[in-house]
């Protein structure tokens, strides 16, 4: 394990893995923000329809 980390290819693979994980975390954070925003919009729309009497 240590030999792979100290060799050039092991280091490159490690960097690729770190960058990949970082990008994944950023993508998940963006997806969560979008999901929350979409949920809020849907809640407001449903509340408006309920208040107007279209549903409920």
Residue ranges of the chain whose pLDDT lies below 70? 1-8, 56
Are 4 and 10 a contacting pair, CB within 8 Å?
Answer: yes
> Rg for the chain (alpha carbons), in Å?
23
Distance separating alpha carbons of residues 44 and 50, to the nearest angstrom: 10
0.85 exceeded by pTM: no
* pLDDT 10s digits, 10-19: 778 889 999 9
Q: What is the pLDDT of residue 42?
A: 96
Task: State how far Cα 14 lies from the chain centre.
Answer: 22
Give the helix ranges, DSSP H, for the chain. 2-6, 8-52
Are 17 and 26 a contacting pair, CB within 8 Å?
Answer: no
């Amino acid at each position: 394990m240590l030999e792979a980390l100290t060799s050039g290819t092991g280091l490159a693979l490690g960097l690729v893995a770190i960058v990949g994980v970082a990008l994944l975390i950023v993508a998940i954070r963006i997806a969560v923000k979008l999901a929350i925003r979409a949920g809020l919009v849907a809640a407001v729309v449903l509340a408006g329809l309920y208040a107007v009497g279209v549903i409920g």
